[in-house]
Amino acid sequence: MSTSSTGAAAAPVTGNAVAIKNFAFSPATLQVKAGTTVTWTNQDTDAHTVTSAASGGPLHSAALATHAAYSYTFTKPGTYAYICTIHPFMTATVEVTR
Amino acid sequence: MRHAGWFGGAVVLTVASGEVISHIADSRDTNAGAAAGAAAAVSGALRFVQVSDSHIGFQGPANMDVAGSFNEAINQVNSLGFRPDFVMHSGDLTHLSTAGQFDQVKQMMTGMKTDRVFTVPGEHDSIGDAGRAYRRTFGMGTLGDGWYSFDTHGVHFIALVNTLSLEKLGHLGNAQIDFVRKDLAGLPSDTPVVVFSHIPLFAMYPKWGWSTDDALKVIALLRRFSSVTCLNGHVHQLFTKTEGNITFHSATTTAYPLPKPGRAPAPTPQVVPARQLKDALGIRSVGYRQGDRELAIKDQRLA
C-alpha cells in the first residue's frame, strides 16, 4: 500500500527544515547534528501536528494552521520518529548524530 | 422461524428526487424511498439523526463558512417533519480542539429540536491532549476515555472512541474492547445493535488512515447478533459495506468533501463549485420499528 512513501523515506536528507506539504513530511528522513534546531512549516490548507510517535518523545507541536511553524532543538543523538496526530498515516523520522 | 432470509440481505442504493437513499433490501419493502418514512409513520418507532464532521473552526477554500453549513444542517434536522429521538454527531465537531470551538459547536447543537444530543470524538477533537478538552465539554457521564452505551426502543447503542493514541489507523485499545465485551454479555442475540465510531471499523482505505487497527476484536464480539449497524464519519462521503449480519455506513459531512479513496494523492479538503459543495454535504436519518429486522437509513443532501 505505502510503497511510494517507503521509497521516499529511503534517502535521508541533511538540513534543518521540514516542509509539511500534500499530507507528507518532506524530507521523510532528515539527518542533523546534535544541537540543530529543526523547523517544520505547514504548507497545506489542512492543519497538521508534529508529534513523537512514542509516548514521552520530545516532539509535541500544537495544531499547525496553514503557514504555521514549529521548531525543536535536538540535543541528544538518536532516531526520532514522529507523526501528525490528525493524519497519523503521515510518518517521518529525524536522525540525530554527534 | 429464525431470521431465514436475513443473511442474503443486500444493500440497495438509489437516487430519488435528488436524495441518495440506502437501505437493506427486504422482500416486504421494495420501495427504498418509503423505508425511513414508513418507520417514522408508526407511533413508537425510533427515529434518530446522524450528523458528522462539522469541523467548526476550519478556514479554507473548501468551505469558507463551515459554521453556516452546520447551521443549515441543523435547520434541516429541525425540518424533517418529526422530532428525532436523538441526534448523534459522529466526530470532528471541531477542527482544532480549541475551547472556543468546542463551546461554539455545543451552543450551535442546542438549537437542534431533539430530546438528546450524543457525540463521539474525531481525531480533530483530540489534538494534543488525548481528548481531555473534548471530554470536558461532551464527556459527561461517559466511561473510560469517553465511550458509553445505552438502550432505547429495543435497540442497543454503543458509542466508541477510536481517535486517541493513533498509530496510522484508528485504535480502540484493550480497555475499551473489554468494555464492549462486558456490555454485550447477556444481551440476547436478536437485539439490534448500533455502533457509532468516528473512524470506520472496516478497512475502507487504510493508506489514508480510514480503518481501525484492532476493530476485528470488536467485530468478533458482534458477529452473534442478527442485526448490527455500524455508523461512522471521518471519510466525508457516503459508503456502505455489508459483512454477514454487520452493515457499515459511512456518513457524509457538513463541512467539506474529501476525495474518493485513491482518487487523489492525499485526503485533502476538496474545493468544488458552491452548488456541488451543497450536494456533498448532508445529514442522515435512521428509522427503526420494534420487531423489524433492519434499520431504515436515509441520507439527505443539504438542501
pLDDT tens string B134-161: 999 999 889 999 999 999 999 999 999 9
**Domains and their CATH numbers in chain A:** 14-96 (2.60.40.420)
Is the separation of the CB atoms in B270 and B61 below 8 Å? no
Would you list which residues of A are annotated within the binding site? 48, 84, 87, 90
Tell me, what's the pLDDT at B43? Answer: 59
Cβ distance of B127 and A46 shorter than 8 Å: no
Tell me, what's the pLDDT at B53? Answer: 98
ipTM for the predicted complex:
0.80
Would you list which residues of A are annotated within the binding site for Cu cation? 48, 84, 87, 90
> Best interface-test mutation with A: which of B64, B96, B101 has the largest number of A CBs within 10 A?
B96
Chain A residues in contact with B209 by the CB 8 A cut-off are 87-89
Chain B residues in contact with A46 by the CB 8 A cut-off are 60, 268-269
pLDDT tens string B37-81: 444 444 579 999 999 999 999 998 999 999 999 999 999 999 999
Question: B13 or B90: which carries more pLDDT confidence?
Answer: B90
Q: Does A43 touch chain B (CB under 8 A)?
A: no
pLDDT tens string B1-41: 233 222 223 333 333 333 444 444 333 333 444 444 444 44
**B206 vs A1, A51, A62: nearest CB:** A1
pLDDT tens string B183-241: 999 999 999 999 999 999 999 999 999 999 999 999 999 999 999 999 999 999 999 99
